[in-house]
Chains A and B, each alone.
Chain A
Amino acid sequence: DTGVSQNPRHKITKRGQNVTFRCDPISEHNRLYWYRQTLGQGPEFLTYFQNEAQLEKSRLLSDRFSAERPKGSFSTLEIQRTEQGDSAMYLCASSLDGAGGYEQYFGPGTRLTVT
C-alpha cells in the first residue's frame, strides 16, 4: 500500500450540481478524516470516522454535505447543490489507533472548482 489515495484529483462543476469524492485510506487504518483547505489557509476539519461510525462533524459541514464510510474501508464525501463557496481542496487522511499518537497520513486532495 502506497498511501492514502483520492479521486478525482480535480473536479470542475457548475453551481447547483452534486459532486462526490472518494478516499481510499491506508489499508489497516481504522480512522478516516476529511478536511477542507482554501487558498492561503491551513486545512480545516470537516468530519471523521472510526471504522464505519461517523464520530464527529464540524459546524462547517452544512446539510448539503454528507460523508459515508461503508464497511469501514473507503469513504465518500458528497456535496449537493454546490455553491461557489465550496471551491476548495478537499483532503482525506487516515490513522491507526495505537501507541503512535494517531499520526494522520494525508492524501493528495481533490481540488473542487465551482463555476
Chain B
Amino acid sequence: AQSVTQPDIHITVSEGASLELRCNYSYGATPYLFWYVQSPGQGLQLLLKYFSGDTLVQGIKGFEAEFKRSQSSFNLRKPSVHWSDAAEYFCAVGPGYSSASKIIFGSGTRLSIRP
C-alpha cells in the first residue's frame, strides 16, 4: 500500500540552528515526492519536489531535500532556520507516471522555533 511516514510529530529548534525533517515512503513504482508547508490559516505551499535526476533538490525559502531510494527516504533540510519557518510541514508522494492523480500526504511535522 502507498503510504508516507513522518516519524516526528513536533520538533523544536533554536533560531539559526540547522533543521532536518524526516520522511519515509512506501510506493511500488518510481514516485514523485513533495514537501509542502502550511502556516496557520494558510493553504499548502509547495517547498520543493523530486521527479527524477539529481537526488538533491533545492526549493524555496532555503530548503533542500535529498531522495535516497535505498532508504525510501526524502528528508527535508535547512542549514539555518528563521522564526518565520515555524509551521506544519507535510511530505507527500504521487504516482510517477503520466496519468497522475492523487497525492498521499504524511501526517505532518509541526516545527516550533525557539528564540
Size of the A side of the interface (Cβ < 8 Å), in residues, is 24
**What residues of chain B have their CB less than 8 Å away from a CB belonging to chain A?**
4, 32, 34, 36, 41-46, 49, 51, 90, 92, 94, 100-108
A25 at the interface (CB under 8 A from B): no
**What residues of chain A have their CB less than 8 Å away from a CB belonging to chain B?**
4, 33, 40-45, 48, 55-56, 58, 91, 93, 95, 101-109
Q: Is the CB of B105 within 8 A of A42?
A: yes
Q: Shortest beta-carbon distance, A101 to chain B, in Å?
A: 5
Q: Is the CB of A45 within 8 A of B43?
A: no
- Enumerate chain B residues within 8 angstroms of A105, measured Cβ to Cβ: 46
23 contacts between A and B (CB under 8 A): A33-B101, A33-B102, A40-B107, A40-B108, A41-B108, A42-B4, A42-B106, A42-B107, A44-B105, A45-B103, A48-B101, A56-B101, A101-B32, A101-B49, A102-B94, A103-B34, A103-B46, A103-B49, A104-B46, A106-B44, A106-B45, A107-B43, A108-B41
Chain B binding site: helix, strand, loop or mixed by DSSP? strand
- Enumerate chain A residues within 8 angstroms of B105, measured Cβ to Cβ: 42-44
Q: How many A-B residue pairs have CB under 8 A?
A: 56
Given contacts A42-B92, A42-B105, A42-B108, contact A102 B43 (CB under 8 A): no
- Enumerate chain A residues within 8 angstroms of B45, measured Cβ to Cβ: 106
Q: In this complex, which of A48, A91, A95, A104 has the most chain B Cβ atoms within 10 angstroms of its Cβ?
A: A104
- Enumerate chain A residues within 8 angstroms of B103, measured Cβ to Cβ: 33, 43, 45, 104
Q: Shortest beta-carbon distance, A51 to chain B, in Å?
A: 14
Bound-complex Cα distance A27 to B76 (A) = 31
